[in-house]
Structure 1
Amino acid sequence: MRAISAMLISLMITASQALASGGAPEGEGLGLLATLFIGFGVMIVLFQFIPGIMLLAGMLKGVFSLGRKDSQETPVNQ
């Protein structure tokens, strides 16, 4: 039983050291094409954001002016 415990403990210690040692080489970061692709995606999102804000402003203007329009109308035929 002692031998099994000692073996398991030694395996856990070496396994944790092996997993913590990230043996992969250092990456170079993003390349030029990847940076341009991400920038292009950001530009698409920004160019869609501006018309969305304008549409939201138009909807809010329509919702809040609807109540004013109904209250200002008076019946002509009485």
Structure 2
Amino acid sequence: MKVLSATTASLVMDGTQAMASPAATETGGLGLAAIIFTAFIAMVVLFQLLPGLAMFLRIFKGIFSTEVEQRAKEVAKDNRTGL
């Protein structure tokens, strides 16, 4: 048991020293593939945000609108003359 705990402790200490070294903090920057992937994810988020926000506002409006307004809209819709 002592061997296992000593081994684990030495691995943890070595790992923390490696993470604290100055070489570990330097980055090489983003490559072209990473930039394209990040842009793609940003576009997906933006294109999903607008319809989601519109749907949320319609639900919010439906919750707080009165039933009289709904009936008035239905009557006005039924009274239209279609071609």
Normalized against structure 1, the TM-score is what?
0.54
**Distance in 1 between residues matched to 2:34 and 2:23, nearest whole Å:** 25
Q: How many residues align?
A: 56
Higher relative contact order (CA 8 A, sep 6+): 2
Q: Does 1:58 align with 2:58?
A: yes
What is the CA distance between 1:23 and its match in structure 2? 4.7
What is the CA distance between 1:28 and its match in structure 2? 1.8
Structure 1: 5+ residue stretches without partners: 1-14, 74-78
Which structure has the bigger radius of gyration? 1
**Distance in 1 between residues matched to 2:57 and 2:21, nearest whole Å:** 54
Flag the structure with higher helix content. 2
Normalized against structure 2, the TM-score is what?
0.51
